[in-house]
Structure 1
Amino acid sequence: MPHSVKLSGTTLTKSYTSWPRNEPAREWAALTLLSRAAPDLVPTPLTASTDPTPRMTMTVVPGQPLSGRLTSAQLTALGSALETLWSVPPASLASIDLGMLVDRSRAGLTVLRDNRGVIAEAAAAWLAWLDGGPLDLIAVRDPVVAHGDPNLANYLWDGERVRIVDFEDAGLGDRTVELANLVEHLAGRETDWDPLVRRFCPDPDRFRTARCLWAGFWLTLIGPGGPSAHRNPPGTAEAQARRVLRLIAAGPRDDRGRRGC
């Protein structure tokens, strides 16, 4: 975790321990924009400093982190929060660098291709898929405020509505890519995302492409030698590899038929 937090009454102070992607500036810009345009959806930024290291104080928003299998009410409330988030014009924000994500995934999966079994098979399939040049489909076509970190723990549920925290990776992104990021995040594997996907009804070609990208990225994180490999039980990486293979093998018509869009 590239930050530490300290609670003091109704405020929270976040101290950044690393910021290779200019995370403090990204979070300040996103929270400033969103707290004005969509009050009560996100924390309100109060103060920021850089001495001796970046630090930001913000309001505390109510709720407990989502986790596990989301209920219908939680899924509906999350959809409403995302709808509000994505309704805010993002033009003032720095763009999300998908090229960096692609390069990091390519490098990681090139290493995993030298493993054995289903992980190596998935890595090779993903690299071949990437060489087919699908990424032009996920250039920004529907610009939104991209949260950038859809871990369920970053969505706070108060029993009625969802609020959103942790905007260190936020920026100007694409709605379909963000939706795919949420669906493919490891934290959400127990949830049936179909109702939420139907709500936003993304283009099936673009959605599948974005899901393949994020699925490959996750395999680099939890595969052998990955930075998150030790955090997951045995078999998690193999299950992710099989997921990558299924996504690459599936056609757009399969996505459209299953989603009902």
Structure 2
Amino acid sequence: MTRLPGQPLTGKLTAAQLTGLESALRQMWAVPARQLPPRRYSRAEAYALGEAWFAQAVRPPGIAGQAVDAVRAFLREPPLPESGEAICGHSDPNLANYLWDGERVRIVDFEDAGRSDVAYELATLIEHLSARDTDWTGFVARCDVDAQSLRHGRILVGMLWLNLLLPGNKAHQRNPPGTLEAQARRLLDLIAG
């Protein structure tokens, strides 16, 4: 970035980077959020989009098709409401949107930000394709979120990623071969609980 110090986070995050990220996120989450509009792809929006997208999706063969079937079954259950206190959510946790200067993290790219909850924000971060190299277990434990709400959020976000990676959709061609199948396996594991 030319105006903010730091380099985009990438790959497996170090303990210092995770601490810096936690500090930056907690500052953002402390912003009064009750009056904010919902963030892009909120729980409710993700659920509604999933219903629409997977009702029309062509079932691919193999494990991706199994994941599509599992998503369709998941969407027959009622959605969970937002959980916990309303916070200002980022909504775009591509690690490139977190700038690390060696001491602290600065967050950029707020056009999708809005009202959310901590569990859903963590779910969005953990399930982002750019964040897959990091073990988030300790990070999540420091945030004291409801496990069911986190898992449900991860399934919703994982479902959105699965849709984007299906043949003919925008992320299919720009990701390496095998990404769709890896996402399908990950999502099936999440749904299985």
Provide the TM-score with structure 2 as the length reference.
0.92
Q: Residue 108 of structure 2 corresponds to which residue in structure 1? A: 165
The alpha carbon displacement at 1:82 in A equals: 0.9
1:9-24 superposed matches below 5 A: none
**Structure 1 position 213 matched with structure 2 position 161:** no
* Contact 1:113/1:119 (<8 A) preserved: no
**Structure 1 position 230 matched with structure 2 position 173:** yes
* Contact 1:113/1:124 (<8 A) preserved: no
The alpha carbon displacement at 1:111 in A equals: 4.0
Q: Residue 103 of structure 1 corresponds to which residue in structure 2? A: 48
Q: Residue 151 of structure 1 corresponds to which residue in structure 2? A: 94
Amino acid at match of 1:128: A
3-state secondary structure, aligned to 1:218: helix
Q: Residue 75 of structure 2 corresponds to which residue in structure 1? A: 130
Long gaps (5+) in structure 1: 8-59, 251-261
Amino acid at match of 1:126: V
- Structure 1 segments of 4 or more deviating over 4 A? none
**RMSD of aligned C-alpha atoms?**
1.7
Larger radius of gyration: 1
Looking at structure 2, the residues matched to 230 and 189 of structure 1 have their Cα atoms a distance apart, in angstroms, of 19
Alpha-carbon displacement from aligned partner over 1:180-221 (angstroms, at most 9, x marks no partner): 000001110111111210110211111111111100010011
3-state secondary structure, aligned to 1:73: helix
Amino acid at match of 1:91: R
Looking at structure 2, the residues matched to 123 and 170 of structure 1 have their Cα atoms a distance apart, in angstroms, of 28
Alpha-carbon displacement from aligned partner over 1:137-167 (angstroms, at most 9, x marks no partner): x425321001110110000000000010000
* Contact 1:93/1:171 (<8 A) preserved: yes
Which structure has the higher relative contact order (CA within 8 Å, separation 6+)? Answer: 2
Residue correspondences, number: 191
Amino acid at match of 1:155: Y
1:32-71 superposed matches below 5 A: 60-71=3-14
* Contact 1:156/1:164 (<8 A) preserved: yes
Looking at structure 2, the residues matched to 159 and 145 of structure 1 have their Cα atoms a distance apart, in angstroms, of 25
Amino acid at match of 1:186: L
* Contact 2:82/2:116 (<8 A) preserved: no
The alpha carbon displacement at 1:108 in A equals: 2.8
Structure-2 change in CA distance of 1:189 and 1:114 (3 Å)? same
3-state secondary structure, aligned to 1:148: coil
3-state secondary structure, aligned to 2:161: helix
Q: Residue 78 of structure 1 corresponds to which residue in structure 2? A: 21
Provide the TM-score with structure 1 as the length reference.
0.69
Question: Which structure carries more strand by proportion?
Answer: 1
Looking at structure 1, the residues matched to 138 and 4 of structure 2 have their Cα atoms a distance apart, in angstroms, of 26
* Contact 1:113/1:121 (<8 A) preserved: no
